[in-house]
Amino acid sequence: MDVGCPNCNATVSASVPPGPGIGGDDSNRLQGKPTRCRNCGHELEFYYY
The predicted pLDDT at position 43 comes to: 93
How confident is the model over 1-49, as pLDDT tens digits? 888 999 999 999 887 767 666 665 655 567 778 889 999 999 988 877 6
The predicted pLDDT at position 20 comes to: 64
Question: How does DSSP assign 12-49, residue by residue?
Answer: EE-PPPPS--TTSTTTT--EEEEEE-TTT--EEEEEE-
Which domain, by its residues, includes 11? 2-48
- Domains identified in the chain, total number: 1
